[in-house]
């Protein structure tokens, strides 16, 4: 865990909270008020404005298996209906928050670069959002455009222009909700500094370092502090442990399904009206659900407020919610001009391309396709570089753009067996032509074409241009072919009808 001048207590465990509310102790001697606040939250929607389905083949240990429904879920118009219903409830105030990566994942993002997503969020009525790293796949000009289009507060406290030190967004906002001043500040993953928009001229500070400087100031001018973060749940837990004063973290980036809030305890908190910890929530991905966090906030005039009781859950977005007509019309306006392009059939899947244990069939498909089309001995793909599964039946161009939305090219290279083994250990990639096992940090098996990889022999491989930036930084003999990875896979689909998923144990990682 990184050191920090503001660290007061490093908590090395978390407690999964149940649906039952944590009960506080009341004092009749104090004049106090109770705020009933509901925070609705989403994260990592990645351009999924229309309903979608997961495969029927689902690994029992996966987060997808935790979803109550796998087919015909999500959709921004349905989400709007669910949000509107909750807002109509009279017994609480409601805020709708998104924790980043609104775009970069479907044809909507490929064609409109976030415009459609922001328009949908405006129509749904979002109050606050923190940008994610994938927003930084846009140019600085588009980042500014999206910020101008948003009718909700875009907050980020750790990103500034290199030219003048100003932020593309608002570092924090303070909302007065029934007399309780709530400070909301945003944090963006440090990883975003490697994305095109940031390389073009945006500086990203380490999130926890930024929080250490800002939170003490926010505590002086607010009654409650909420962090809206796109840094991942592990970093959220560190943030809660190392930076005192954060009451709630609405998180994203790690695509973590938290069915109920996580609480990071604060042992030094002796307030009788406090849950004695920081609440962390996250809503998985793609808008398949809406997170709901119900809070009872205890406030005494002249002192900081505290979360006295809470409950939290994820509400599925399904066909049970009818489309909100306004949002549905808006989405249709963006979809109709591109429907024929992305609806055309480009291949057929003989079965579901899904996850079975450590076999990721959709990754295997991409790696096999590139190796086949480039004629190399092996191929490597980074975890996170293939974005969706494929469902048994016809494959549309839109399906493939959702699977590969990034516009990466194919890079070929020559590497020795020793270099390849180092790549396997450090990157743990999805592969084709290679079979390997890493057991507790030790490479136990590594073969190419069924033969042990020889340290001194030189092999010919390929990867995508994104992974090549780090994987091949010490490799001199490399060449960007200029061929789009997506186009390469599309040719493979045309030549292999139908394509069959490979579940063959080519990549085994034992932690």
Tell me the three-class secondary structure of 351-414, residue by residue. Answer: CCECEECCEEHHHHHHHHHHHHHHCCCEEEECCCCCCCCECCEEEEHHHHHHHCCCCCEEEEEE
Same domain as 383, residue 299: no
Here the tokens at position 246 are 């954060």
Q: Give the pLDDT of residue 511.
A: 86
The whole-angstrom distance between residue 344's C-alpha and the CA centroid of its chain comes to 28
Domain total of the chain: 2
- CATH assignment at residue 412: 3.90.780.10
Q: Which among 282, 312, 335 is the end of a domain?
A: 335
Q: Judge if 214 and 362 occupy the same domain.
A: no
Q: Which two tokens stand for residue 369?
A: 């396709």
Considering 284, 318, 335, which residue would you say is the last residue of a domain?
335
Report in angstroms the alpha-carbon separations of 140 from 33, 158, 423.
45, 16, 33
Is the domain of 353 the same as that of 329? Answer: no
Same domain, 352 and 312: no
Name 372's Cβ contacts closer than 8 Å, sequence gap at least 6: 492
Q: What are the beta bridge partners of residue 155?
A: 170
Q: How far apart are CA 157 and CA 231, in angstroms?
A: 13
Interatomic CA distance for residues 125 and 86, integer angstroms: 12
Residue 61 has a pLDDT of 84
Cβ(52)–Cβ(399) under 8 Å?
no
Question: Phi first, then psi: what are they for 208, rounded to 5°?
Answer: -70, -35
Within 10 Å of residue 372's Cβ, how many Cβ atoms?
Answer: 18
The boundaries of the domain holding residue 322 are 34-52+64-335
Beta bridge partners of 249: 227, 280
Kindly state whether residue 460 falls inside one of the protein's structural domains: yes
Classify strands 262-265 and 15-16 as parallel, antiparallel or unpaired: antiparallel
For residue 295, tell me if it sits in a domain: yes
The answer as to whether 237 is a domain residue is yes
Q: Are residues 379 and 415 in the same domain?
A: yes
Confidence (pLDDT) at 60: 87
233 lies in some domain: yes
In a domain? residue 179: yes
C-alpha closest to that of 146 among 104, 116, 107? 116
Domain for residue 136, yes or no?
Answer: yes
Q: How confident is the model at residue 6, as a pLDDT?
A: 52
Assess contact for 230 and 187: CB atoms under 8 A: yes
Distances (CA, A) of 280 to 262, 311, 427: 5, 12, 29
Q: For the chain, first and last CA: distance in Å?
A: 19
Q: Measuring CA to CA, how many Å separate 74 from each of 115, 119, 150, 290, 317?
A: 19, 17, 22, 9, 5
Residues 374 and 306 in one domain: no
Are the C-beta atoms of 186 and 157 separated by less than 8 Å?
yes
pLDDT at 10: 34
Contact criterion met (CB below 8 Å) for 295 and 84: no
Do 371 and 413 reside in the same domain of the chain?
yes
Q: How far is CA 245 from CA 40, 220, 228, 305, 469, in A?
A: 22, 10, 14, 11, 38
Closest CA to 6 of 212, 209, 238: 212
Q: Domain boundary residue among 317, 335, 353?
A: 335
What is the rounded CA–CA span in Å between residue 99 and residue 250? Answer: 7
Residue 254 CB contacts under 8 Å (≥ 6 apart), including other chains:
232, 233, 234, 282
DSSP 259: S
Query: What is the C-alpha to C-alpha distance for residues 204 and 78, in angstroms, rounded to an integer?
Result: 35
Q: Residue 12 falls within a domain, yes or no? A: no
Looking at the fold, whether 376 and 464 belong to one and the same domain comes out as yes
Residue 168 included in any domain: yes
Q: How far is CA 444 from the centre of its chain?
A: 32
CA distance 456 to 49: 50
- What CATH number does residue 325 fall under? 3.60.21.10
Crossing angle of helices 207-221/233-242, nearest 10°? 50
Q: Do 360 and 308 reside in the same domain of the chain?
A: no
Q: Is 481 in the same domain as 358? A: yes
What is the chain's pLDDT, residue by residue, as a tens digit (511 residues)?
A: 333 335 333 333 343 333 333 333 334 445 789 999 999 999 999 999 999 999 988 888 889 999 999 999 999 999 999 999 999 999 999 999 999 999 999 999 999 999 999 999 999 999 999 999 999 999 999 999 999 999 999 999 999 999 999 989 999 999 999 999 999 999 999 999 999 999 999 999 999 999 999 999 999 999 999 999 999 999 999 999 999 999 999 999 999 999 999 999 998 887 888 999 999 999 999 999 999 999 999 999 888 899 999 999 999 999 999 999 999 999 999 999 999 999 999 999 999 999 988 899 999 999 999 999 999 999 999 999 999 999 999 999 999 999 999 999 999 999 999 999 999 999 999 999 999 999 999 999 999 999 999 999 999 999 999 999 999 999 999 999 999 999 999 999 999 999 999 999 999 999 8
Identify how many contiguous H helices and E strands the chain contains and give both numbers.
14, 28
* Count of C-beta atoms within a 10 Å radius of residue 378: 22
Same domain, 450 and 482: yes
Same domain, 233 and 184: yes
């Amino acid at each position: 865990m990184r050191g920090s001048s503001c660290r007061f207590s490093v908590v090395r465990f978390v407690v999964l909270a149940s649906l039952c509310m944590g009960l506080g102790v009341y004092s009749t001697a104090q004049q106090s008020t109770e705020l009933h606040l509901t925070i609705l939250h989403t994260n990592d929607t990645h351009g999924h404005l229309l309903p979608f389905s997961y495969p029927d083949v689902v690994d029992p240990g996966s987060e997808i298996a935790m979803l109550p429904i796998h087919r015909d879920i999500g959709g921004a118009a349905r989400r709007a209906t669910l949000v509107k219903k909750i807002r109509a409830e009279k017994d609480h105030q409601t805020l709708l928050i998104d924790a980043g990566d609104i775009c970069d994942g479907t044809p909507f993002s490929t064609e409109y670069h976030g415009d459609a997503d922001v328009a949908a969020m405006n129509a749904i009525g979002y109050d606050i959002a923190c940008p994610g790293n994938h927003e930084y796949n846009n140019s600085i000009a588009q980042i500014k455009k999206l910020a101008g289009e948003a009718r909700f507060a875009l907050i980020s406290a750790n990103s500034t222009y290199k030219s003048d030190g100003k932020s593309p967004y608002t570092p924090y906002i303070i909302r007065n909700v029934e007399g309780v001043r709530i400070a909301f500040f945003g944090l963006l993953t440090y990883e975003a500094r490697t994305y095109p928009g940031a390389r073009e001229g945006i500086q990203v500070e380490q999130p926890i370092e930024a929080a250490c400087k800002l939170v003490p100031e926010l505590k002086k001018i607010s009654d409650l502090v909420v962090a809206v973060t796109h840094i991942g749940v592990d970093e959220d837990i560190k943030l809660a442990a190392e930076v005192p004063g954060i009451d709630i973290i609405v998180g994203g980036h790690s695509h973590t399904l938290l069915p109920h809030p996580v609480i990071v305890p604060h042992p030094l908190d002796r307030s009788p009206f406090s849950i004695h910890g920081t609440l962390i929530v996250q809503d998985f991905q793609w808008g398949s659900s809406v997170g709901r966090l119900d809070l009872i906030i205890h406030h005494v005039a002249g002192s900081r407020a505290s979360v006295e009781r809470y409950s939290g859950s994820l509400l599925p977005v399904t066909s049970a919610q009818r489309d909100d007509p306004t949002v549905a019309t808006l989405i249709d306006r963006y979809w109709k001009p591109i429907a024929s392009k992305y609806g055309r059939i480009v291949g057929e899947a003989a079965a579901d391309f899904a996850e079975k244990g450590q076999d990721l069939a959709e990754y295997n498909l991409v790696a096999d396709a590139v190796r086949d089309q480039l004629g190399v001995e092996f191929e490597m793909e980074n975890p996170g570089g293939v974005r969706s599964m494929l469902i048994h039946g016809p494959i549309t161009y839109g399906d493939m753009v959702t699977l590969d939305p990034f516009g990466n090219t194919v890079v070929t290279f020559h590497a020795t067996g020793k270099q390849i083994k180092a790549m396997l250990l450090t990157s743990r990639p999805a592969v084709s032509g290679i079979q390997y096992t890493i057991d507790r940090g030790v490479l136990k098996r590594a073969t190419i074409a069924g033969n042990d990889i020889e340290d001194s022999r030189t092999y010919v491989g390929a990867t995508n241009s994104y992974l090549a930036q780090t994987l091949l930084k010490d490799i001199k003999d490399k060449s960007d072919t200029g061929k789009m990875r997506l186009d390469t896979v599309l040719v493979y689909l045309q030549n292999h009808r139908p394509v069959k998923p490979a579940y063959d144990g080519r990549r085994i990682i034992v932690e």
